[in-house]
Amino acid sequence: MVTRESGLTMFVYFDDRDRVAAFEFGNGADSETVRWSDIEPLKMPATEVCDRIRSRYRVVSEDGGYTFHVREMRIYLWRPVIPEDVADPVGQRFESVLLGNA
């Protein structure tokens, strides 16, 4: 695990043969960006992230809406809570994006 001064956290996960299996980025601060194409999954509203990805790939909601999985790209998006409504600021953005095999 590496935590940058900004608060952005990066994890590297290994499989049972010590090969890299996945990278995970955790939300830290607005001063750094995790970007995939035109999508900033840790800064943009979760609904917008999913809508943009859905325009290209199938997005599967798991865990009742806490986790979203893009199987073709091996991307997982996670948030700790689901907002109660659009005015609720908690859970509006993803806090983690994992690339690889979970």
pLDDT digits (tens, 9 = 90+) for 30-46: 777 888 888 999 999 99
Burial pattern 15-52, b for ≥16 Cβ within 10 A else e, equals eeeeeeebebbbbbeeeeebeeeebbbbebebeebbeb
Residue 5, pLDDT > 80, answer no
pLDDT at 33: 81
pLDDT digits (tens, 9 = 90+) for 62-101: 998 999 999 999 999 999 999 888 888 888 999 999 999 7
* CA–CA separation, 21 and 44 (whole Å): 26
Give the residue with greater pLDDT, 2 vs 50: 50
C-beta of residue 34 within 8 angstroms of C-beta of residue 94? no
Taking the model in full, what pTM does it have?
0.85
